């Protein structure tokens, strides 16, 4: 019975259409492409403003050479935010709860950043394996630890997003099942559980936005080290 609670994360197929495909392709209808007009409509103007603000915030601490990554990271931010928030709607599938999708983005981008750093400035990139101000005696240990932490990064990036979204959706399913089951037996407890469900939904909305932002922020930090 407990294992069946994870069934919501199985890639669903309805009438031979994998719902993952619809979940990934449909939300872009909400983001119209900007026209060549001088002034666009309110929807486009507000999206333009958010995009510009978030991109400038993320790329403030990065060297100008790293600003080529702006298009990649800002569009990934929009991708992840949209996928996360769209998955909060009932009966939708959250693509970013799948390890395959998150590891695909995390691993590929991390590897690109590390290879970029190693090719353009190898000494500077390898210098990050020994933090400044560390005692000389600890150098061998620190280098080993920092190397391990370097290779853990893509796994941590992907699994962080997956685990946060999976746990959130699981909690929502559990509390909603509990609320419905208790409604006839213990109504007051059911109301309390309903309040808990409401608060959880608010938390999940926040988590959806924050986790997408954290993903991009960490990638920008890794870029800052390597560019």
Q: Which of 17, 108, 167, 186 binds other proteins (CB under 8 A)?
A: 108
Geometric angle at alpha carbon 80, from 222 and 75, rounded to 5°: 70
Query: Does residue 34 touch other proteins according to CB under 8 A?
Result: yes
Segment near other proteins (CB under 8 A), from 61-69, 92-100, 135-143, 174-182? 92-100
Check: CB of residue 220 under 8 Å from CB of residue 73. yes
Size of the site for other proteins (CB under 8 A): 37
The dihedral through the CA atoms of 68, 72, 74, 77 has a sign that is negative
CB of 24 to other proteins, least distance (A): 5
Check: CB of residue 85 under 8 Å from CB of residue 70. no
CA separation (Å) from 147 to 52, 209, 214, 216, 221?
35, 30, 22, 22, 16
Query: Does residue 21 touch other proteins according to CB under 8 A?
Result: yes
Closer to other proteins by Cβ: residue 47 or 176: 47
Contact residues: other proteins, CB under 8 A: 6-7, 9-11, 18, 20-21, 24-25, 28, 31, 33-34, 47-48, 51-52, 71-72, 74-76, 78-79, 95, 97-101, 103-105, 108, 162, 166
């Amino acid at each position: 019975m407990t294992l069946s609670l994870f069934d919501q994360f199985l890639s669903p197929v309805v009438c031979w259409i994998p719902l993952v495909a619809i979940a990934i392709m449909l939300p872009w209808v909400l983001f119209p492409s900007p026209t060549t007009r001088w002034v666009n409509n309110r929807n486009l103007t507000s999206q333009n403003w958010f995009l510009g603000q978030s991109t400038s915030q993320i790329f403030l601490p990065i060297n100008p050479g790293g600003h080529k990554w702006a298009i990649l990271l800002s569009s990934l931010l929009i991708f992840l935010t949209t996928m996360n928030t769209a998955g909060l709607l009932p009966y939708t599938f959250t693509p970013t709860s799948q390890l395959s999708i998150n590891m695909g983005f995390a691993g590929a981008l991390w590897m690109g950043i590390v290879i970029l750093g190693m090719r353009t400035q190898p000494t500077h990139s390898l210098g990050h394996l020994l933090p400044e101000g560390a005692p000389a005696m600890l150098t061998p240990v620190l280098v080993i630890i920092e190397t391990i932490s370097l290779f853990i990064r893509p796994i941590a990036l992907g699994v962080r997003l997956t685990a946060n979204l999976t746990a959130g959706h699981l909690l929502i399913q559990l509390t909603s099942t509990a609320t419905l089951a208790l409604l006839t037996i213990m109504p007051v407890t059911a109301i309390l559980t309903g309040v808990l469900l409401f608060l959880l939904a608010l938390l999940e909305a926040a988590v959806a936005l924050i986790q997408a932002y954290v993903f991009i922020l960490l990638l920008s930090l890794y870029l800052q080290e390597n560019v």
